[in-house]
A and B are shown apart, each in its own frame.
Chain A
Amino acid sequence: MQAVNKVVILGGGSAGWMTAAALATVLKNNYAEIVLIESQNIGTVSVGEATIPQIALFNSILGIDENEFVRETQATFKLGIEFANWKQKGHTYMHPFGNFGADMDAIQFHHYWLKMFQKGQAEDLDAYSLAAVAAKQGRFMRPQNRGNSPLSKIAYAFHFDATLYAKYLRKIAVSRGVTRIEAKMEDVCIRDTDGFIDSLVLDNGQVINGDLFIDCSGFNGLLIDKTLKSGFEDWSHWLPCDSAIAMPCSAKHDVYPYTVSTAQEAGWTWRIPLQHRIGNGYVFPSQFVDTQKAIDVLTQQMENAPLNEPNILRWKTGMRKEFWVKNCIAIGLSAGFIEPLESTGLHLIQAGIAKLLGMFPYQGCEQVEIDAYNEQTRLEMERIRDFIILHYAVTEREDTEFWRYCKNMPVPDYLRQKIDLYKANGRIYRHGTELFNETSWLAVMNGQGIMPKGYHPLVDTLSEAEIYSRLVHIKQVIDNSVNVMPTQAAFIDRYCKAIS
């Protein structure tokens, strides 16, 4: 076993540069040399990314000034995702960041809401979420230090241009000592003694040795799979979408701080507003929709003329059977792919990096640590997968073959249990370190149309009138709070307008 003195990152997309920047920041004092190999001839998949609030943590670890970051990446703020036509055509709901309402007497808010809503004495769930209400009104500001006010609890993420983000991180990484090599990888060399990767051979003839290799080479997994044969677990029977087209168009002035996901006859389209343009895309199952049809659908939905030719992506949904094999760790698409319905792409990268930093093999790769990493990553991926499946499997739509398939497909046991548990008495429990918390599950399960048979029995200890007045109060506080928020456009103009 050998100490890790040199880390080689293969691939320079978001995954590569996020990893490089993080390692360069954390492994201080030249603890290990970091090299990143990328080729301009290999396009990155980045198509305008939506993120979730955890990204702020990552940025803060890097010590990034948020306003600068927003300017550099043409970013906008994101308070949630609106799902249109998912439950049924014409229906929309919001999956907002932050909580719904406020818990009362140690009982989650939604139990009260469930009771009242069924009695017609409560508004839609979204009305009790500051993020949802603000988002709908196009308002945004960062959380304020206001004690119990919901304004203290504003959770937000970003929409940004991932290509610009990678560039921005590259600047940071290189300034912190990462060596960037412009080349394509031609070959991999394996140590005969233990099967570890020893070096990468580049098309310029250079041989880059390393102790630890981070595979950020994208779908193909050049190292993790093509070299080390990690294998792949296919999930496309649960998530049949396997293609996307992306086509940006010019921005509107009043950018709303949320992503819109609109279900189509098969698959869904996204709308991600950036400062300089709007990212549009259509995620679809090629089995049900041909590419030209997809382009037509997307073009029709766009509010402005496209800026580029459509960028077509293909993938297979699923994950590697192992993410860390010998001295190679897959981060990003090389580790697995889940469609961007809940903007989890960058989060998975970030989570991978966080785990890597936690288990960094300073003294060499220990199998027990490798096993732990793989186990954690697997669970993380599976829970996200289940959450995504939820959107498809719980629907009232039966208007197309695609939706009929989704509605009737068997779902993973974990998801089944989670749904059943909610259906029974509205109970939601977060499992371990699973990414999506109770709020998220609630938003989607409710939004997709599940109405539990019951609710927490202790809710009945409060009188209906008491509950009713509390709900009204919560709603009022939220509305009042939202009213003090500036529009996102004003906010950006003031703090972090990109220099176009």
Chain B
Amino acid sequence: MVKDNLGTNMTNTAAIKKVKVISCEHSALAGWYTTAMAAYAFKDTGIAVSHITSDKEPLFSHGSLTLQADVLLALQEIGITESALVNHARAMPFLANKYIGWQRKNHVALAGLAKSGVPLRGVSFVHYLARLRNETNDLTWQAELFSLNTMCASLGTFARPNADPRSILSSLEYGLRVDAKLLCKLLIQVVFELGDVSALQTNSRDCQEQSFDRETITLDCRTSRGPSHKMPLDTLLIETPCPNEDIPRVDKLSNEYECTDDGYIEHQYVNGCRYSRKFIARHFIKDNKRLCEPFSECNEISLSPNSSDFWQHSFNTVYLFETGAHQLLDNGGLGYRAQQLNTLWPLIRGANLSATAANFFNRLSAERYRYWRDLSLLPVFLCDREDTAFWQFKANQIEAEDLEHVIGFYQRTGVFPQLEHYPADIGLIENTLLAFDKYPKASDPLCFSIEIGELELQLTKLKQQIKQAAIQLPQFQ
């Protein structure tokens, strides 16, 4: 504490002295991520950050997870660079999501991370594509043919995108998949480098009881307590141990989502490993022996819905990972947390942990959560299957007003409504819709200024260009 620190005079009335992060089994990554971000956010502020678990050993998460722009940026800020992730967390890029068997058996569709096609005359590409499909009735015109992401993903080629807008390579976007356990280790390392952080493994009451201590804010990152049937998928099964050998020949640059009779299985590849997880509605599996199939062994985690993260003002406690939904939310889960923590820090750094701040946080969380939940439910929502008890059940389970509006509006108009808590860049959502054949039924009237024959010619050319570019890129590894 330097005496003439700028804010001393102002903030000495601020109550908080301590940020306590609680994590537990299955939420190790959540806990360490939050602790690392807190340690960074409160560095040199005189506020102590502590990490508490009820278990004896530091816990690690299992499996893999995906990291996209927001999270990568946040990690970079605390000193975990992309190369650190590659070198120490087996990070491997991915370009697309691959949906297997969602529309019919063995059907495969790819949704790239980057927007497909290029806008023509100020009108977004999908309008032209939709027009071509609607007018020629030729449904082989697929969005995935116009995306360098999906072409590279299926050819197994990769190069880092560049920023030159004239180069086709600038249209490539990638995310990273990392080993969760190794990422935990990196985060722990950062936590201690940032200093002023204590990590406690304790069975003490600290973990169990709510604190009335006005000087401490508790960030509770523990996962939820029990399954709930309000979410169509309430149970997560993680394959253990992760098999190092015998990875089938696959397109490693995509994350795979395989539709099953009672949910879906996700496969992610990080260097040398395939991680698989299965999402099911527990209720529909009567035979416990079938629970793990096709895995030989697995861990079971319950997921429950949560309308939002919640700042309980009277107990100075923020339930950050209170829900298990972040597991389900894998592709966006950490993105959501990154957003939430960015909102949270200024709110608890500024003042006397006011009810106004808590209310604000809770309102914003509820609004944002809807988007992230929608995003994670998207393929399940879009799936038209009704051939099993689960898929029949699912049809009436999802209440996603925003998503319904977005999809409905998109299908009618080819335009995405601008919702405050949906990102402005909806590339992946759009690609997912298109991968599920939810093409717009109408096009922007502005795209009718071109003759249909001419349009077909232009699109054929574009398709070939993209394919050529994808072929010419080097094979990954």
A and B touching (Cβ–Cβ under 8 A): no
